[in-house]
Amino acid sequence: MKKILIVISELSLGGTEKQLKNIISELCNEELFEFNVVTLISKGNYYSEFEKIKNFKVKNLFNLKNKNFIIKYFFALLSIISLTRFIIKKQPDIIHFYLPTSYLIGASTIFFYNKNIKYIMSRRSLNKYQKKYFLVKKYEQYLHNKMHLITGNCQAIISELELENVEVKKLKKIFNGIKISSDVRERITKKNKINMILLANYIPYKGHKFLIDSFNELDEKYKQRLNIRFYGQLNNYSNFLKSYIDSKELSNFISINPHCLNVSKYIKECDIGISTSSEEGLSNSIMEFMNFNMPVIATDVGGTNELVYNNFNGLLVQYGDINSLKLALEFYLNNIDFISIHGNNSKKILQKNFDINNCIKAHKKIYLEL
């Protein structure tokens, strides 16, 4: 039985964590692997869901949420020591790092203990953060050399890693996956009003304000026919967005809502999915929209064009181009029939390329072969 240690910053309600839960839940049912997950910064609000997985253990090292920089820096050093002790105790065969923070901190344990361990790093977003922090960029590229395998969830990420001089033989593309729903619901195309949904945490780069500004440019006749719902973890930025919506007198058309575990209930109530991020890997929320036969309006960033084919199952726009997003909103208002046509195409793409079983099989294969 192979011992797998997953290292991640926290288990929050995000796409990466949902993917990880699906993979581990399935592989824990086989007697091939023993999984442990360590969170470095905090438990996160999805931690309890992981605790429900049978034959599986999860451990949080520290709670660094809302701590100042000096304290975070001090505990980052302590977490390297604590994680090293945990590794020595558990003696894993493979350590798998998810997301930049856990990679930069967790992979530093290599310098203290690396006996017979294989290392995997999974990058799930573009490396824009490297442009802000030169030393982080150099250190991360140094760590790449210590990895036995580096995975990316879309071609855009794989291409970036190649530019960072990662050996091609170390790279593997593993698409995100989703459990394909058999639920086929009737589109609400007979009604004159259209419901749209944006499912993303309230963070500036997710583009909520971009969508608000584009909506605000619509003629009044279009505004009256359109309802947009935001769902995500409420925070200070969601408060700002609510005030911004109120200041534009758009609160009758755009609503701020909290995230929830059973978000599919709210997706089913909508007609079109929206993703307006300025950066993205392979969006889990887009896949959730596609799973319910929904067309998607999305910014052409990262791996989004591997999910959304322009004018086939949705419309792609450039981030920040208010007029192009406005025209995309108008397209479906003027061409109601395309909601069903593009929505059905979404399901076909998902079934062909993004079944969760393919993602699970790919992880099983790399764990067994390393």
CATH number for the domain including 100? 3.40.50.2000
Instruction: Specify whether 145 is located in the same domain as 9.
Output: yes
Looking at residue 254, what is its pLDDT?
Answer: 98
Burial of residue 188 (number of CB atoms within 10 Å: 0-12, 13-18, 19+): middle
Contacts of 1 (CB under 8 A, 6+ apart): 31, 32, 33, 34
Residue 192: count of CB within 10 angstroms of its CB: 10
Residue 148: count of CB within 10 angstroms of its CB: 14
Instruction: Specify whether 278 is located in the same domain as 209.
Output: yes
Instruction: Specify whether 18 is located in the same domain as 68.
Output: yes
Indicate the number of domains in the chain: 2
Instruction: Specify whether 359 is located in the same domain as 349.
Output: no
Looking at residue 73, what is its pLDDT?
Answer: 64
Residues of the chain with pLDDT under 70: 62-75, 129-132, 184-191
Instruction: Specify whether 163 is located in the same domain as 217.
Output: no
Looking at residue 187, what is its pLDDT?
Answer: 56
Q: Is the pTM of this model over 0.85?
A: yes
- Dump strand ranges (E) for the chain: 2-8, 33-39, 56-60, 94-98, 118-123, 149-152, 171-173, 194-199, 226-232, 254-258, 272-275, 296-299, 314-317
Instruction: Specify whether 360 is located in the same domain as 349.
Output: no
Looking at residue 67, what is its pLDDT?
Answer: 53
Looking at residue 12, what is its pLDDT?
Answer: 84
Alpha helices by DSSP H, listed for 219-321, are 220-223, 236-247, 264-267, 284-291
Q: What range does the domain containing 315 cover?
A: 194-353
Looking at residue 167, what is its pLDDT?
Answer: 94
288 belongs to a structural domain: yes
